[in-house]
Amino acid sequence: MAYFKGDLEKVSTDFYRVLIVLTAIATVSQFAYDYVLAIKAALIFVVSVFVARESEIFFVTQKASIMRDEAKATLKTTKPEVTALIYALMLPVGTPLFVVAVGSFVSVFIGKMVFGGYSFNVFNPAIVGRLFVGISWPALVTTNFSPIMDNYLLQLIFQKDFTAVALSPLMELHANGIVSLANMRPLTELLFTTNHGMLFSFPVIVYPLVLIFFAVRKTIDFRPLGITLVTSLITLAVIAISFNQSFEYPLFHLLAGGYLFVAILMMTDPFTKPYTTIGTIAYAAIFTLSFTMVRFLGKDSDGVFYALLFANLFVPLINKKTDKAIFGFNRQTVTTLVVTVSILVGTGLFITKILEQRIASKEVTVLYGKN
């Protein structure tokens, strides 16, 4: 079991409560575009939760050789709904339901139960399912509403057409060159309006309310979130300064896409995060390095899903190497901070250099200034 101090049942219950509210907000937010999309969003959540619960019940009944009712009773503690809702919120509303079901199964059965079940998982289970369907059906897990299967039936029944391509804020920025401000959405729009993208693309102003709830309830360890924000700002600031961009540019990259969703609800997962402050610094640095490299130099306009999985991979090693580390004014802490900042700054400079080469070869078209 991962190192954890606190009431496991309280933590899982509080996460579940928050996710129920976020699910409701995500569903209602789809009304900003059309009520049929809200219906589809609700179906995604229902299918994801149903498959997750049934997958865990099946696994438990087979492994422990117990009856179905006994296995169902264990779900009150393990709450597969938490994994199911996090996974579903990372999907676009156009995801076909068969893809939703497969990803939910993979999240619980492979990402969670195979590793030993509740509290023994190495990776965040939801991210395992999300990346599986993203790699397996990349064309179906986009912001497009592909007219197949259940999507086709919804369009046929309600006489609607959702096949027009809808780009998320990060996709729009990526299309004009990742260092471009030409298509950067105003920060106020990200804060107060629903954007195209994943189901978690509701107004960002929701997240401070989530943090207040967690703080009052003393549910999560805020160190991973705070340290991750600092490490990300360092690298993003280096890139922004290199291209003469304003402070809005790093903030845009923190507010747009899945960054806050992952940082708040997944980086703080008590079972997949390091348990020392020094270990958390290394964890956050690995996440920042990965997400910036993927977002700026890769094909994925977001990058946070891959970054989280990569960071999770190092947690056992980080825990082993830092289990006796004490954070304070000592040689180990100073060395860790100096090395971490150097790596983060170096990452920003490396990304800048690669982008400059791509700009010179016209692989990336940079549009300075706002439209």
The residue ranking higher by pLDDT, 194 or 293, is 293
Q: DSSP string of 32-92?
A: GT-HHHHHHHHHHHHHHHHHHHHHHHHHHHHHHT--HHHHHHHHHHH-HHHHHHHHHHTSB
- 89 class by beta-carbon count within 10 Å (0-12 exposed, 13-18 middle, 19+ buried): buried
Reported confidence tier of residue 1, pLDDT bands at 50, 70, 90:
very low
Out of 14-28, 95-109, 138-152, pick the least confident. 138-152
C-alpha closest to that of 104 among 126, 71, 120, 89: 126
For 269-283, how does the pLDDT look when each residue is reduced to its tens digit (9 = 90+)?
888 899 888 999 999
Domain extent listing, the chain: 8-158, 177-360
The residue ranking higher by pLDDT, 325 or 87, is 87
Contact 186, 158 (CB under 8 A): no
Contact 64, 71 (CB under 8 A): yes
Mean per-residue pLDDT for 205-210? Answer: 95
What is the structure's pLDDT at 361? 82
- Cβ contacts of 43 within 8 Å, gap of 6 or more: 97, 150
Structure-token pair, residue 293 = 């490299």
Q: What's the predicted TM-score (pTM) here?
A: 0.89
Angle at 131 (CA atoms; ends 118, 111), nearest 5 degrees = 20
